A and B are shown apart, each in its own frame.
Chain A
Amino acid sequence: MSTASQADPVLVLEGVSASYGPYRALFDVSFSVPAGAVVALVGANGAGKSTVARVASGLVPASAGRVLLRGHDVTRRRAFEIARMGLAHVTEGRSVFGSLTVEENLTLAFRRALGHGGVADALARAYEVFPRLGERRGQLAGTLSGGEQRMLALSRVLVLRQDVLVVDELSLGLAPVVVDEVYEALGTVRSGGTALVLIEQHVNRAFTIADGVVVLHKGRVAYDGDVAGAAARLDELVLGGPPAAAP
């Protein structure tokens, strides 16, 4: 992706490897995300997409390599520090606190980032962008519909204007109409200047808004380039193409 844009990369992975206990899940993964750009991260099941996301946000430690966020080395930083430095990670599956209300979910993040005084304003902005959340502010987030939960997770990023948002399988299990809505929200986040790393099973969907594509195959980067190039060789890449030439 590095060739496609002249902007400074906001997120860089350099030769990242990662393991779950004895299992290696990532092998020497490198790519970068230019500020404000959208990178689609695709690959077969188990290719390591979620692991990339977890390493970037600090949930899983990198066993080798470096992760740079806005030029700062965050490889050894804890997840909460990375979050405060401007990387948001909306995880696979449920990504809100089911036992807290909508408003508490938002407050939790806002209070750390904006201080006590900023919370009310931030809440108002979130409800303004997503009125449905405002209507349900007192409801437990666990009782929201799947689409609403995604909105809630996105609204946090939107208001805090974080630099990078890594979204993992955002559209999984949603009805097509709801997927449209979620993607609309994603567009709003992006137009706020946040770069996106978009992990998607619906590859075509992701490609419609992506600026670049990274394909993972068995824990390695099999492709890193523009959308057209990826679209042309997608099946081969995803289903077991040869790994990209070693750097």
Chain B
Amino acid sequence: MNFDFSNEQKMLKDQARKFLQDQCSSTVVRQVLEGEMEYASHVWQEMAQMGWQGTCIPEAYGGAGLGYLELCVLAEEVGRSLAPIPFSSSVYLAAEALLSAGSEAQKSHWLPKLSSGEAIGVLALAEGAGAPVESHLQCQFSGGQLTGKKMPVLDGPLADVAIVVAKDGETGGVSLVLVDVADSSVQTEPLTTVDPTRPQAIMTFNNTPAECLGAPGKGWGLLTQLFNKAAVLLAFEQIGGADAALQMARDYALGRYAFGRQIGSFQAIKHKLADCYIKNELARSNTYFGAWALSTNARELPLAAATARVSATQAFEFAAKENIQTHGGMGYTWEFDCHLYYRRAKLLALSLGSALTWKNRLVDQLEQPSAA
């Protein structure tokens, strides 16, 4: 058994951590928070130079042609640093959708751009509050044109290309459709959200020229597969964030005194942080299993992805809220970074569907006769 990352992958992870510590400190995250910039474009560009966006994109399309395990270690560090960049949208969703379902022409057109960071891709699924349901989607695709409204679209204000989940007029099913956001019929309105360090938008399409990505009417199945992969990658961002939040709480608990002693000597604090550690480790283990399933395209991927997603979501949300609690009043100030984790934890918890949704999927998998 070798249930661990290789030395090369660990080195990549260390390099990524150092790079992000230097280039993407919380000062940078805060510049986006304060609206001084839309995203950390300099970080994005330097990452592109190191080939991160193209980690899993084949060399033929300008990528690095590495594997998912490499992308997993990068994702953990992106999560740890709370990097305000459209990494998950462009890399785990848009590029992956193109890779798995795109035509040769679509791939040759978009993948080199996504890989070099020159273009940013997003996925547009939600149409307001409530779980998106296959049969209830309002966005309509027919005759090569897309019409409807998507909200919220994560990283929407940055998008060059959008993959939109829409009702397919011809087949009556759901299709994934590819839209060049530069088209004048696409309207992108910025949206305020709980985590301003990642911009979001309302995207409106009005007879927008679009083309099917993958077989018409088969979009829901493609989306499910895409989400299973993305859930593992996002779980790595979540455990990275969860670790950072725990570290922050621990450091504060060592430095803050009350009643003549370090607050970290009170059991109410110690046990809370021990619980945080336990949740993080369980999530890490499940997330590693997800990485294995993703990298080997295993039959277990749907169950492994749901398991990783559920525990990583719980771990990050718990660590983020208890980090605020450990800081007392300081934790509730804009000035301290606690809220950055709290915000990001919630964003990541909801962006591929909530824990509620993923728990359901998990049990669906267990109900299958072949469940592992």
A and B bound? no
Q: List B residues at the A interface (Cβ < 8 Å).
A: none
